[in-house]
Amino acid sequence: MADTLILARGGRTVVDRLSFTVDAGHALVLSGANGAGKTTLIRALAGFLLPVEGQIVLEGGSADRTPAEQCHFVGHQNGMKSSLTVEENLLFWADFLRAPGAGPGVEPPKRVADALTRFDLEPLSDIPAGYLSAGQKRRLGLARLLVAERPVWLLDEPTVSLDTRSAGLLAALVNAHTAAGGIVVAATHLDLGLDRADELRLGPREVAA
Amino acid sequence: MMPGFWVLVRRDLQLAVREGGAIGTALGFYLIVVALMPLGLGPDLSLLSRIAAGVLWIALLLAALLSLPRIFEADYEDGALEVMATADLPLELVAAAKSLAHWISTGIPLALMAPALGILLNLDIGSTPALIGTMVAGTPAISFLGAIGAALTLKARRGGLLLALLVLPLYVPTLIFGITAINAVALGSDGFWQSFAMLVALSMGATVLGPVAAAAAVRPQLQ
Q: What tens digit of pLDDT does each residue of A56-95 get?
A: 777 776 667 777 778 888 888 888 888 888 888 888 888 8
Residues of A in contact with B77 (CB under 8 A): 77
B4 contacts A98? CB cut-off 8 A: yes
Q: How far apart are CA A29 and CA A193, in angstroms?
A: 11
Residue A190 pLDDT more than 80?
Answer: no
User: Would you say residue A2 has pLDDT above 60?
Assistant: no
pLDDT of residue A166: 84
What stretch of H or E contains A152? strand A152-156
Dihedral class, residue B170 (left if φ above 0, else alpha if ψ from -120 to 50, else beta): alpha
Residue A81 pLDDT: 84
Q: Which residues of B touch A46 (CB under 8 A)?
A: 82, 85-86
pLDDT at A7: 63
Inter-residue contact A182 to A195 (CB < 8 Å): no
pLDDT, position A103? 55
Tell me how close the Cα of A197 comes to any Cα of chain B, in angstroms.
Answer: 25
pLDDT number for residue B93: 92
Cβ distance A48 to B82 less than 8 Å, yes or no, reads: yes
C-alpha closest to that of B81 among A132, A90, A87, A80:
A80
Interface of A with B (CB under 8 A): 9, 43, 46-49, 65, 68-69, 71-73, 75-84, 88, 92-93, 95-100, 144
Contact B69, B163 (CB under 8 A): yes
Predicted confidence at residue A208, as pLDDT, reads 39
CATH fold for the domain made of A2-208: Rossmann fold (3.40.50)
pLDDT band at A10 (very low <50, low <70, confident <90, very high): low
> Cβ contacts (< 8 Å) between A68 and chain B: which residues?
85-86
Helix and strand counts by DSSP (H, E) for chain B? 11, 0
B86 touches chain A (CB under 8 A): yes
Tell me the average pLDDT of chain A: 79
pLDDT at position B188 is 78
Instruction: Give the pLDDT confidence score for residue A165 in this predicted structure.
Output: 84
Which residue would you say has higher pLDDT here, B206 or A175? B206
CB-closest option in A48, A65, A81 to B15: A81
Quick check: A1 pLDDT over 60? no
Q: Do B11 and A92 touch (CB under 8 A)?
A: yes
Q: What's the Cα-to-Cα distance from B191 to each of A34, A162, B125, B182, rounded to whole Å?
A: 66, 66, 19, 10
Q: Which residues of B touch A138 (CB under 8 A)?
A: none
Nearest by CB to residue A100, choosing from B1, B74, B77, is: B1
Give the pLDDT of residue B2. Answer: 66
Residue of A nearest to B18 (CA): A83
Phi, psi dihedrals of residue A152, rounded to the nearest 5°? -115, 130
The tens-digit pLDDT sequence of chain B (223 residues) is 567 888 889 989 988 888 877 788 899 999 999 999 889 988 888 888 888 889 999 999 999 988 888 888 888 888 888 888 888 888 999 999 999 999 999 999 999 999 999 988 888 888 888 899 999 999 999 999 999 999 999 888 777 788 889 999 999 999 999 999 998 888 777 788 999 999 999 999 999 999 999 999 998 888 7
Alpha-carbon distance A121 to nearest alpha carbon in chain B (angstroms): 20
- Residues from chain B that touch A65, judged by Cβ atoms under 8 A, are 88
The strand pair at A12-20 and A2-9 is best described as antiparallel
CA distance to partner chain B, nearest, from residue A186 (Å):
16
Give which of A50, A81, A87, A93 to mutate to test B binding, by max B Cβ within 10 Å.
A81
How high is the pLDDT of residue A209?
36
- Contacts (Cβ under 8 Å, ≥6 apart) of A102: none
**Residue A4 pLDDT:** 54
Determine whether the interchain pair A75/B82 forms a contact, defined as Cβ–Cβ distance below 8 Å.
yes
Q: What's the length of chain B?
A: 223
pLDDT value for B198: 93
- Which among B195, B167, B170, B207 is positioned nearest to B53, based on CA atoms? B195
What DSSP element (H or E) covers A170?
A: helix A164-179
**HSE, side-chain direction, 13 A CA sphere, residue A5:** 25
Counting the structural domains of chain B, the total is 1
**Predicted local distance difference test score (pLDDT) of residue B205:** 95
Inspect the interface and report whether the beta carbons of A77 and B8 lie closer than 8 Å: no
* Residue A94, min C-alpha distance to chain B (Å): 10
**C-alpha distance from residue A81 to each of A125, A140, B8, B219 (Å):** 13, 11, 13, 21
Domain span including residue B106: 2-222
Measured between beta carbons, the chain A residues lying within 8 angstroms of B80 are 79-81
Q: Which amino acid is located at A204 in the chain? A: P
Nearest CB partner across the interface for B223, out of A9, A82, A83: A9
Q: Could you say which of A46, A80, A96 has the minimum Cβ distance to residue B78?
A: A80
Give the C-alpha separation, B127 to A53, whole Å: 61
Of B11, B14, B87, the CB nearest to A97: B87
- Distance, C-alpha A62 to centroid of its chain: 19
Q: What is the pLDDT of residue A207?
A: 44
| Choice between A200 and B40, residue whose per-residue pLDDT is larger | B40
Residue B142: CB atoms within 10 A of its CB come to 30
What are the strands of the beta sheet with A197-201, ordered from one edge? A71-74, A152-156, A183-187, A27-31, A197-201
Is B18 an interface residue toward A (CB < 8 Å)?
yes
pLDDT for the residue A131: 87
Closest CA of chain A from B89, distance in Å: 8
Provide the pLDDT for residue A101. Answer: 59
